[in-house]
Amino acid sequence: MDNIEEEKLDKHSDDIQVESDEKKSGKKIELDEERLPSRAMAIHEHIRQDGEKELERDAMALFWSAIAAGLSMSASLLAKGIFHVQLDGVPGGFLLENLGYTFGFIIVIMARQQLFTENTVTAVLPVMQKPSWVNFGLMTRLWSVVLLGNLVGTAIAAWAFEYMPIFDEATRDAFVKIGMEVMKNTPLEMFSNAIISGWIIATMVWMFPSAGAAKIVVIILMTWLIALADTTHIVVGAVEIFYLVFNGTLHWSEFIWPFALPTLAGNICGGTFIFALLSHAQIRNDMSNARKAEAKARADEQKQQRDGAEKEA
């Protein structure tokens, strides 16, 4: 019975495996910087390895982690709203208020929860490395599950902020003001601003492998920049706009348009079609040269073996 269960698990694992040259040859992704042509390639391969692990994770595990991330991202609205009230009239209050935006990102990333915009670069690199319908399907599954989970989590948090007796009237008014600032953007502005935030998040992810102990500093600086630039983000913005919906300020349809669809498209464009493509392009020649070097080394080894066999004969 145990053997049958193990076979089922193995079969399921095989069904969701990412296609890559390393899996085909039974090797692991090379991460040793000394053995790779460039530092950029080492970072690329590190992120690609993380991407493959995420693509192969169980859908329900991804979904629950994404819900947790959505709930955690509400800390950005929470901190920003409280700072807005407490720092009213204080010189430099704008800078400190926007520092509150970083709180949700710190929790989500340090807790290794699933955030959609993080996966616009992490999950894309394995697909760019080995374009196939299997890999594209796994990426689509990951994006769909994580985005849905993030939105569910943000909706729960926004509902709690509105209907549970947690905040005073001044803080609730601050939440409304923050959300309405987002809704002042036209669909085109939503899209354009989201490209910037998607690009910044992707840049942040690219910096993680070399950040070491300074990872939390990188998170704070990069996400603080997103807030200061007043850009749009599909997950943080979802908390803010869902709050307006539950508050009765906006209709449900206004969450979808002009907010969600343009913002989602912009985040994907910024994180995937701009940053990930450029990042992959810069190490493409390194990869090609590395493969040529490996092929030459194998050819030389085979030649030596043939020469050795001829001498023995």
pLDDT 10s digits, 97-107: 999 999 999 99
Q: At a CB cut-off of 8 Å and minimum separation 6, what does 203 contact?
A: 222, 275
In a domain, 298, yes or no: yes
- Give burial (CB, 10 Å; 0-12/13-18/19+) of 94: middle
In a domain, 21, yes or no: no
Q: Is the pLDDT at 71 greater than 70, yes or no?
A: yes
Q: Is the pLDDT at 262 greater than 50, yes or no?
A: yes
How many domains would you assign to the chain? 1
Question: Could you tell me if 80 and 178 are in contact, meaning their C-beta atoms sit under 8 angstroms apart?
Answer: yes
In a domain, 184, yes or no: yes
- Mean local confidence (pLDDT), 249-271: 93
In a domain, 178, yes or no: yes
pLDDT computed for residue 115 by the predictor: 92
Instruction: Choose among 137, 138, 143: nearest CA to 115.
Output: 143
The model's confidence at residue 9, banded by pLDDT at 50, 70 and 90, is very low
Q: What is the DSSP letter of 17?
A: P
pLDDT computed for residue 286 by the predictor: 59
Of residues 3 and 211, which shows the higher confidence score? 211
pLDDT computed for residue 92 by the predictor: 84
Lowest mean pLDDT among 92-96, 218-222, 224-228, 248-252: 92-96
Q: Is the pLDDT at 130 greater than 50, yes or no?
A: yes
Of residues 283 and 214, which shows the higher confidence score? 214
In a domain, 112, yes or no: yes
CATH assignment at residue 292: 1.20.1080.10
Q: Is the pLDDT at 37 greater than 70, yes or no?
A: no
pLDDT computed for residue 300 by the predictor: 58
Helices (H), 87-163: 93-99, 102-110, 119-122, 124-129, 133-163
Lowest mean pLDDT among 17-31, 87-101, 260-274: 17-31
Structural domain harbouring 131? 36-306
Lowest mean pLDDT among 178-187, 229-238, 265-274, 293-302: 293-302
Cβ-count burial 139-161 (b if 16+ within 10 Å, e if not): bebbbebbbbbbbbbbbbbbeeb
pLDDT tens digits along 132-155: 899 899 999 999 999 999 999 999
pLDDT computed for residue 11 by the predictor: 44
Q: Is the pLDDT at 2 greater than 50, yes or no?
A: no
The model's confidence at residue 113, banded by pLDDT at 50, 70 and 90, is very high
pLDDT tens digits along 186-216: 999 999 999 999 999 988 988 888 888 899 9
In a domain, 227, yes or no: yes
In a domain, 180, yes or no: yes
Lowest mean pLDDT among 24-38, 55-69, 167-181: 24-38
In a domain, 169, yes or no: yes
The model's confidence at residue 270, banded by pLDDT at 50, 70 and 90, is confident
Average pLDDT over the chain, rounded to whole? Answer: 84
Prediction pTM value: 0.83
The number of C-alpha atoms within 13 Å of 192 and in the hemisphere containing its C-beta is: 7
What percent of the chain is predicted at pLDDT more than 70? 76
Q: Is the pLDDT at 76 greater than 90, yes or no?
A: yes
